[in-house]
Amino acid sequence: MSSVSVSVESPPTARRRVAGAVVASLVTGVLTALTPAPAAQAAAPVLLSQGRTATASSTEAAPFGATAAVDGDLGGTRWSSQWQDGQWIQIDLGRTAELSRAVLTWEAAYGKSYQIQASDNGTDWRTLTTVTAGDGGTDDLALSGSGRYVRMNGLTRGTGYGFSLWEFQVYGTTEGDGGGPTLPGGGDLGPNVHIFDPSTPGIQTKLDEVFRQQESAQFGAGRHAFLFKPGTYNGLNAQLGFYTQIAGLGLRPDDTTVNGDVTVDAGWFNGNATQNFWRGAENLALAPVNGTDRWAVSQASSFRRMHVKGGLNLSPTGYGWASGGYIADSKIDGQVGNYSQQQWYTRDSSIGGWSNSVWNQVYSGVEGAPATGFPEPKYTTLDTTPVSREKPFLFHEGGELKVFAPAKRTNARGVSWSGTPQGESVPLTRFYVVKPGATAATINQAVQQGLHLLFTPGVYHVDRTLEITRPNTIVLGLGLATIIPDNGVTAMRVADVDGVRLAGFLIDAGPVNSPTLLEVGPQGASADHAANPTTVQDVYLRIGGAGPGKATTSMVVNSDDTIVDHTWVWRADHGEGVGWETNRADYGVRVNGDDVLATGLFVEHFNKYDVEWYGERGRTIFFQNEKAYDAPNQAAIQNGSTKGYAAYRVDDSVTTHEGWGLGSYCYYNVDPTIRQDHGFKAPVKPGVKFHSLLTVSLGGNGHFDHVINSTGAPTEGTATIPSTVTSFSG
């Protein structure tokens, strides 16, 4: 766009009662698992198995898979085999390790005799120790040997049930990426994370100081996060500039109340808010001074887990243009004033009302949302969101910082925090706190070691791909932490594992072309992640703007069941390093995985296709797009016999796909005579359905001949009036 109390899910009901001695041993096991590894000597053994890939000879039933024995949830989840002897469970540690200890925490169904074995290849096994008279409880076994794979090879059962483990923990040492000592978890968050409590002096002064630095620093290097401990703060006006995050540190928004405002306006840009990008507000209760808070933003600005005790105005002072935006898991007691916002998506929230529509306002799971009226008024409303899982966030409890990872919801409606928040609390000691200067090798070592990642505000150059290989790993950025790939590498790659959570950071392409910037799952990924999907939330990708950058395809989603929840994937149309070939980027987002859901998908200005979808049963709720402004002529975007590349293309091989509230706009200001055959392209099949589609020509600079395929009227004239298709189906 340019100037135009924690609760964890209940254990399965099929679980059998555990003897008191076993429960006591579980408590000891929990303390052992959560104690951070010492930072001193390289030889200190660490927990190697947690979150690793685990497989088993069999499972008793679906809830009792092998990964449950390495998830760190002692007494909550478990692996159990079929009810017969001769069963095994094995763990891939990710690399060869010197093994020192195995801790097996048995459920009531235990192993009477079994072996602990190691292997370098997962095929050829050597026995490290044998237990012949097991009696259940917790077995803490000394090991001597090495291997990448470790197996409990169960010989005979101690009961009539199968082999059943709450947790299988393996300890040892690895050299790490490049060697060096074991990395510590936790620590301070650096100088650009500003943590306040109600007694902190000079809060307003600090807010104002950072705002002066960040108000117009659209492509600057400053990054900041303001974190407020639970309590009440009076008389504050937190004005947010670029790369600034404000958040409460309570478990619920109402734990941290600001009697004042969190404000985004557009005075720096003469009252035009269409470039108010890259900022966020989370987990606060606001009581606005005049009854209405102002949040005049555009892309890449999230408003999550907020409680506004009044109204919310989405336009800048003077009602200039704005091009946002995104609200999730929030409660606005009064009315949301849309005013000049061209498009907006609101998910799983509660609002007192909504004022009007411009081009494309979409709601899913929102109490108080207006009914669908598309094409006039331009509202598209879904009663629920099919699947959602809120973004992880920091909170303060018992004198320490932790990260709360909310639970998955299906058919969600309203906020997730109206009762007891459901999810997992993870202490900061289980995170590697990434600070400017950290190398990719060190970051990868932290992941291999079993730590989550917390990126503090800053800009990070990586000379190799960040590999997120462990299931359930959290990668959380503060203050729009920014990752830049050097030498044409892919910035981040996620393995085909369960439950990875990527949230709150920006990937900025480097000057040497990267084939991809972010890959979720490897090519050919096929594992089922429906029960525990990977989520990508407030993760933004940028090519150019802060300087020359190139990437062939920005984001590739290969893993099934992935949820992409609010992203802006942007080939820059202004700033430094901008030009048809200077910041060349042919493709924005490519989806190969099945059952992928996108909620709040913003993708703009790519040289060819902005979105391509190859996976089955894909769904998109809200899509906003602008075609590349800077196409030099018609020939530059000619796609065979087709004029232009669709903004959103579903491959002809796909049989089932659905989308709600999708818009594409063109502004060919270099050559206003350019025409696009259509904004959207999809196969004509019964399972392919779209609702509320629109194309817009901004001021008559280029035009669309159709909306989707050959359906929909052409855009005409200079009046910027959308062409719409209410429903499309084969």
Active site positions, annotated: 626
In this structure, the number of other CB atoms found within 10 A of the CB of residue 416 comes to: 21
- Between CA 176 and CA 183 the distance in angstroms is 9
DSSP state letters, 364-402: EEEETPPPP-TTSS-EEEESSEEEEEPPPEEEEETTEEE
CA neighbor of 160 nearest in space, from 85, 60, 87: 85
- Between CA 537 and CA 394 the distance in angstroms is 15
Partner residues linked to 169 by β-bridges: 103
Type of residue numbered 615: G
Contact 407, 329 (CB under 8 A): no
CA neighbor of 295 nearest in space, from 325, 260, 331, 268: 325
- Between CA 286 and CA 422 the distance in angstroms is 23
In this structure, the number of other CB atoms found within 10 A of the CB of residue 186 comes to: 18
- Between CA 18 and CA 467 the distance in angstroms is 38
What region does 189 belong to: left with phi over 0, alpha with psi -120 to 50, or beta?
alpha
Place of tokens 């690793």: 52
- Residue 440 has phi, psi (to 5 degrees) of -60, -35
Q: Are strands 492-494 and 514-520 parallel, antiparallel or unpaired?
A: parallel
Written as six digits, the tokens of 106 are: 């048995």
Judged by DSSP in three states, 27 sits in helix
Written as six digits, the tokens of 404 are: 């709360």
Burial of 434-468, coded b for 16+ CB within 10 Å and e otherwise, reads bbbebebbbbbbbbbbbbbbbbbbbbbbbebbbbb
Whole-Å CA distances, 372 to 363, 413, 633: 9, 16, 38
**Segment holding 246, helix H or strand E:** strand 244-248
- Between CA 527 and CA 524 the distance in angstroms is 10
In this structure, the number of other CB atoms found within 10 A of the CB of residue 33 comes to: 17
- Residue 620 has phi, psi (to 5 degrees) of -130, 125
- Between CA 168 and CA 105 the distance in angstroms is 7
DSSP state letters, 502-535: EEEEEEE--SSPEEEEEEES-TT-----TTS--E
Whole-Å CA distances, 391 to 12, 127, 330, 474, 563: 25, 43, 13, 10, 11
List helix spans (H) across 423-517.
Answer: 440-449
Q: What's the DSSP call for residue 640?
A: T
Judge residue 179's burial from the number of C-beta atoms within 10 Å of its C-beta, 0-12 exposed, 13-18 middle, 19 or more buried.
Answer: exposed
Contact 200, 467 (CB under 8 A): no
